[in-house]
Amino acid sequence: MQLVYTHCAGLDVHKKTVVACARIVQADGTRTTHIRTFPTTTAGLLLLVDWLLSLSITHVAMESTGEFWKPVYNLLEGSFTVLVVNAQHMKQVPGRKTDVKDAEWIAELLAQGPLRPSFVPDAPQRALRDLTRQRTHLIQERASVVQRMQKVLEWANIKLASVVSDLTGVSARAMLEALVAGQTDVRLLAELAQGRLRTKRPELEQALRGTLQPHHAFMIAQHLAHLDFLEEQIAAFDAQIETMIQASGLPPAPPPATGGGETDGIDLVEPQAADSSATPSGWAAARLICDAVPGIGARVAETIVAELGTDMSRFPSAGHAASWAGLVPGQHESAGKRRPTRIRKGNRYLKAALIQAAHGASKVKESFLAAFYRRLAARRGKKKAIVALAHKILVIVYSLLKTGEMYHERGVAALSECQKDRLLQRLQRRIGQLGYRVNLEPMAAAAA
């Protein structure tokens, strides 16, 4: 194979150590290999950087092993061209498995050039992505706490969830707090219902009559306190994410003036941040574009922006973006036959956000996306239709972010218009198979 890089290195990254293999090819074709092992502490990784710089290394490759590659990447990205590669793309020959052999094999593949680097966003986007991912975990944990509290209610023969749709709503929360406080009169508990739930007071009385024991009340109280804590955490992450998104559209702050006070260089930025009439830019503009698509809310839009970014040139096409998100099926063809496969693994945070958006979009009345879902669900089933709708939403978001345009609803008729020519051809071919010949003319032309 043709030599691509003359000064490169391969890293085999582990939790406590990283094995580095530097591969250098001189002008006369002489090849030298240098191998060293470093600890993964910050001091150890800085020694790794200095060692690679002393060897004039220009390109470094490593496997995307869990979370262990991230601290290594953070310290190397400013000094080298760093490639994070899917481990499946550079499997070693079986029977020769050691850390040194792995590092040598990575360096060999990097020198020859067949490695395809994974997409690693820049540092600001990685920071936003860390915040949105942690918020996603908090929201998932909140849902788990609600489910555990529902189990406790079932153990106590309290069927509140059979009447109310949300155990954390205002009415249900008031009833649960009263139960914890020792209230046993079901009529007084049912009177705590608000809004339209007051019409269900007889059902609430039946649902709230149970066998609540003291340890049940204690567990419910702890679950409610845990939910309050998680709500505070989610609100704090929402505020921090909003701050980062709004700051992305601001110009860089000027350097502080010499001899100024502690607030020098800050007052120049604040008026722009407070100007609500200014056109959103950066992440704020991308969030606005995503939020306009049916089914996508503010939090889902923030997740899409954090995971996908705003620069769509990093993906050659919408199909590449969908493949990276894991919303396209794999390929399995043998002997001329294509076998059914599951969707591929990809960015699970982006995939989950798009699936959530697809569930919401499928319920928007008189929309193009809802009509697309219903047409596909009738033939392929609801689960496959939801995945296909998520793929459709990603393609739309990719196109909108690439052009900077806002989403325009095409309506149900647009889907029928897309399928009209195909339907007419199929019906005309079917009529011909029955022995008839037809000539199709538009009704307007026929009337003329």
pLDDT per residue as tens digits for the range 272-301: 333 433 445 689 999 999 999 999 999 999
**Co-location of 102 and 186 in the same domain:** no
**Co-location of 18 and 57 in the same domain:** yes
Please report whether residue 444 resides in a domain.
Answer: no
Handedness of CA 283, 288, 289, 292 (dihedral sign): positive
Please report whether residue 325 resides in a domain.
Answer: yes
Last residue of a domain, one of 112, 139, 173: 112
| d(C-alpha 142, C-alpha 227), whole Å | 6
**Co-location of 175 and 202 in the same domain:** yes
| d(C-alpha 354, C-alpha 362), whole Å | 12
Please report whether residue 98 resides in a domain.
Answer: yes
Whether residue 212 is predicted with pLDDT greater than 70 in this model: the reply is yes
Please report whether residue 414 resides in a domain.
Answer: no
pLDDT per residue as tens digits for the range 118-174: 888 888 999 999 999 999 999 999 999 999 999 999 999 999 999 999 999 999 999
Mean pLDDT over all residues of the chain? 84
**Co-location of 96 and 14 in the same domain:** yes
Q: Which amino acid is at 268?
A: L
The whole domain housing 143 covers 126-247
Whether residue 262 is predicted with pLDDT greater than 90 in this model: the reply is no
Q: Which helix (H) or strand (E) holds 39?
A: strand 31-39
Domain of 100, CATH number, reads 3.30.420.10
Please report whether residue 369 resides in a domain.
Answer: yes
Whether residue 304 is predicted with pLDDT greater than 90 in this model: the reply is yes
- Quote the number of domains for the chain: 3
Last residue of a domain, one of 112, 139, 168: 112
**Co-location of 44 and 82 in the same domain:** yes
**Co-location of 239 and 290 in the same domain:** no
| d(C-alpha 62, C-alpha 14), whole Å | 11
Please report whether residue 154 resides in a domain.
Answer: yes
Please report whether residue 262 resides in a domain.
Answer: no
**pTM value > 0.75:** yes
**Co-location of 84 and 16 in the same domain:** yes
**Co-location of 291 and 375 in the same domain:** yes
Whether residue 206 is predicted with pLDDT greater than 80 in this model: the reply is yes
Average pLDDT score over residue span 390-400: 94
Contacts of 429 (CB under 8 A, 6+ apart): none
Q: What is the pLDDT of residue 275?
A: 42
**Closest to 284 in 3D by CA, of 244, 226, 232, 342:** 244
